[in-house]
Chain A
Amino acid sequence: MSLLATSLPGFPEAAPVAGLVGGVLIGLAAALMLLGAGRIAGVSGIAARAFGIGSSSMPRAGAWAFIIGLPLGALIVMGLSGASAPAFAGPLPLAIAGVIVGVGTRLGSGCTSGHGVCGMSRLSQRSLVATATFMATGFATVAFMNAAGIEVLP
């Protein structure tokens, strides 16, 4: 765990090694989905399929299995690391953000996983543009909220 806590010069809060290890795990998970099941590990699309929204051909049971795996993996890591839970936003910002993310990912056909990881890595034009767009509005949103003094995390 000490290696995972390695910091970055100039950025005392950054955890580059933990980030890289987490990223490689995400990449391996997406690779398993691609080479094993022949599909994109896009969370928003798979979630939509699990809940009966969208027209994916993925077996619905498989979609649920993937979605159930997400908290399972988190549970294993939290159990092994013994880390305490991080702080989350309050109910109102969570609900507002959730609806916006739900609408946005359906209209935009994907999120950080489908566009950001799976699409970018195959140089999909749509995914490159989508990722650049949601990164830009993400930066702008946090910048605006900070400038306006809107705090959502304790």
Chain B
Amino acid sequence: MTRDILVPLASGTIFGAGLTVGGMTDPARVRGFLDLFGDWDPTLAFVMGGAVLVMAMAWIVQRSMLRPIFAEGFSLPDRNDLTPRLIGGSALFGVGWGIAGLCPGPGFAALAIEPVSAAIFVVALVAGMVLVRLFEGNV
């Protein structure tokens, strides 16, 4: 029970620290990265590169493991199909990301930085998720 809480708590805390150090919680920095055809700020490419590099190594380690260190088994996505839903949803997400310069992780992390702004974003984010569930059920 304790490990079910401690591992995600530690992961979330390190994650939030990384988002903040890397500049993902600064909407101007994020929008600067997305301003590819204007005054481009490449910082987030370094964030993405660093994170992907470490995770690529973690996936190599994972392949030789029978089970995770603190859990009974792996619960990983195994789908490989490209659907209109995946592409349409991702396209929509990118639009929202571009408008305010926030994606979900930094939205939650920013609750400790600019609580009112972050709370507006997070409440709207959850409302959007509920909306999908109301229309489609759980997918």
Contact = CB atoms under 8 A, between A and B. Distances in A.
B15 A139 contact: no
A37 B11 contact: yes
A27 B98 contact: no
A76 B16 CA distance: 9
Interface string A38-82: 111101101110010111011101110111111111111110000
Contact of A74 (B5, B58, B101, B109): B109
A104 B95 contact: yes
A98 B48 contact: no
B4 to A, nearest CB: 5
Summarize A's interface: helix, strand, loop or mixed: helix
Nearest to B74: A38
Interface in B53-99: 53-59, 61-62, 65, 67-77, 79-82, 85-99
Given A61-B5, A85-B113, A139 B37 contact: yes
Nearest to B117: A88
B104 A111 contact: yes
B51 A32 contact: no
Contacts of B16: 69-75, 77
Contacts of B93: 100-101, 104-105, 108, 111, 134, 137
A95 B118 CA distance: 10
Interface of A: 4, 8, 11, 13-41, 43-44, 46-48, 51, 53-55, 57-59, 61-63, 65-78, 85-89, 91, 93-109, 111-113, 115-122, 124-126, 129-131, 133-143, 145-146, 152-153
